[in-house]
Amino acid sequence: MKAFRWILFFGLLITVAVWVSQQQGKVTLHLSSVELTTQNYGEQVDQIAQEMGLPAAYFKALIVLECSGESPPKSRYERHVYKRLHNVKKGRRKRYGSITKKTLRKFSDQQLKDLATSWGPLQIMGYQSLAMKISVNRFKEEFALYYSMQWANKTYGNYLRKGNYTDAFHIHNTGKPLPSNGRPRTYDPNYIKKGLKYIKVYEGQENESPPVLR
């Protein structure tokens, strides 16, 4: 029993050490993705952000994090999300967030897969369309960026207007603000750190042309 406790203790120390190293480690910025985002989405982001009263630099940074500025952006199917939605529809699970069996009763299997896929330059999960009462296709089509930014505005726009980008990034990636212990639950532990650095890059370029990379 005593040996087990020591193993558990050292295991915890290693976990903490890895986490600390990740937080303090050097973050590499991909300036090619910064340039690509500016070329493919810059003007559109500026226009929509001004219309919604949101910081354009945040969304440009978010696009770099989520799709590296690619146009059209790739979609990401989340099988585990599909299984949860499928179980809700079949009555094996009571709900998934606010989604219930009644919500999904008319959805085909392919439509469930669309709901379980992240779309567009901000990689918004398809099921977010349900709360917005729009078709999931809105996240795929020509106006995908507009509806994605609209979702962000409704979900955590108050954080953005206060300049609280740390919580905004965490909400976008996990659905919740950064935990009080300061440890991010993002898929990439440096997701927020990278995002904040990209914001600074874009704020520095605000009135300049994007750098030419060789």
pLDDT tens per residue across all 214 residues of the chain: 554 443 443 443 333 333 334 444 578 899 999 999 999 999 999 999 999 999 999 999 999 999 999 999 999 999 999 999 999 999 999 999 999 999 999 999 999 999 999 999 999 999 999 999 999 999 999 899 999 999 999 999 999 999 999 999 999 999 999 999 999 999 999 999 999 999 999 998 544 444 433 2
Q: What is the pLDDT of residue 68?
A: 98
Contact of 46 with 56, CB cutoff 8 Å: yes
Q: Give the C-alpha separation, 183 to 50, whole Å.
A: 32
Q: Which pLDDT belongs to residue 27?
A: 81
Q: Express each pLDDT in 10-22 by its tens digit.
A: 443 333 333 334 4
Give me the pLDDT at residue 25, please.
Answer: 58
What would the pLDDT profile of 158-183 be if each residue is shown by its tens digit? 999 999 999 999 999 999 999 999 99
pLDDT of residue 205: 58
- pTM of structure: 0.83
Closest CA to 156 of 122, 130, 112: 122
CA distance 168 to 160: 6
Domain ranges of the chain: 53-73+146-208
